[in-house]
Amino acid sequence: MTSIQANLQAVKSRLARALHDSGRAPDDAVLMAVSKTWPAQCVREAAAAGQRVFGENYVQEGVAKIADVALPELEWHFIGPLQSNKTRLVAEHFDWVHSIERLKIAQRLSDQRGEARPPLQVCVQVNVSGEQSKSGIEPAHCLELAQAVARLPGLRLRGLMCIPEPVDDPVRQRARFAMLRELRDELVRGGLTLDTLSMGMSDDLELAIAEGSTMIRVGSAIFGARNNSGAQGE
């Protein structure tokens, strides 16, 4: 067994235990393998171990990897910051986008997705860390953006996503995840149909699962520590 396959098994056991400890069903959350900065071969190894859902942060790197891996059974999620000049590539090559924080980007994605393809599955990214973070929409404006996104024909709004700035105190970290869950509940009361809470990474997946995460995004615990100097910016 390769180390990627062993790591994948270890993460799946952590996920299973966390779901069990929260009294949730074993299939209640999806594991996304975040393959940013790792070559196509690493994705193939994870795929050979049964992993189907992959996440990428950088548009060009992701699009090239999707073509290189060329396994139609895989599902590709875009989870990084998205500029308007890159929306077409994302609309044409990815299945999901988790990082919707502006209506203009959502409108472009919807137009560029076109009607021939199934709608792009999307989450609105929320800033749950206040002034410490610049990415994600403010919670107070989330309902308005989510309602507008839900009306776009090329997109299907699935839920909310957050990337809390890491804090040492697990109680505070967990409170951020709780904030996203409460916001989701508020949006559902506002009439939206949402089934996804995209939250939890290598270091905090248990806290996120305890607060209702339905999709954890795990990179380093599967593929190893990233060499950030090698990561390409957008």
Ligand X SMILES: *Cc1c(COP(=O)(O)O)cnc(C)c1O
Least separation in angstroms between residue 36's CB and ligand X is 6
The SS3 assignment for 117 reads coil
By CB under 6 A, tell whether 125 contacts ligand X.
Answer: no
Nearer to ligand X, 16 or 147 (CB): 16
The SS3 assignment for 99 reads strand
Are 179 and 199 in contact by the 8 Å Cβ rule? The answer is no
By CB under 6 A, tell whether 97 contacts ligand X.
Answer: no
Nearer to ligand X, 81 or 119 (CB): 81
Are 61 and 41 in contact by the 8 Å Cβ rule? The answer is no
Nearer to ligand X, 14 or 108 (CB): 14
Give the separation between CA 121 and CA 25, rounded to whole angstroms.
23
Least separation in angstroms between residue 153's CB and ligand X is 27
Residues 62-81 that bind ligand X (CB under 6 A): 79
By CB under 6 A, tell whether 43 contacts ligand X.
Answer: no
Are 182 and 162 in contact by the 8 Å Cβ rule? The answer is no
Q: Which structure tokens are listed for 11?
A: 């993460």
Stretch binding ligand X (CB under 6 A), from 63-71, 151-159, 177-185, 199-207: 199-207
Least separation in angstroms between residue 219's CB and ligand X is 3
By CB under 6 A, tell whether 91 contacts ligand X.
Answer: no
Q: Which structure tokens are listed for 82?
A: 């998205």
Q: Which structure tokens are listed for 172?
A: 């505070």
Give the separation between CA 112 and CA 43, rounded to whole angstroms.
27
Q: How many residues bind ligand X (CB under 6 A)?
A: 13
The residue from 65, 113, 176, 217 that contacts ligand X (CB under 6 A) is 217
Residues 129-168 that bind ligand X (CB under 6 A): 163
The contacts of residue 96 (CB under 8 Å, 6+ apart) are 75, 76, 77, 78, 120, 121, 122, 123, 158
Are 29 and 220 in contact by the 8 Å Cβ rule? The answer is no
Q: Which residue is nearest to ligand X (CB)?
A: 219
Nearer to ligand X, 36 or 158 (CB): 36
By CB under 6 A, tell whether 176 contacts ligand X.
Answer: no
Give the separation between CA 179 and CA 61, rounded to whole angstroms.
32
Bridging pattern class, strands 53-56 and 96-100: unpaired
The residue from 49, 180, 201, 208 that contacts ligand X (CB under 6 A) is 201
By CB under 6 A, tell whether 187 contacts ligand X.
Answer: no
Nearer to ligand X, 34 or 142 (CB): 34
Give the residues lining the site for ligand X (CB under 6 A). 34, 36, 57, 79, 163, 201-203, 217-221
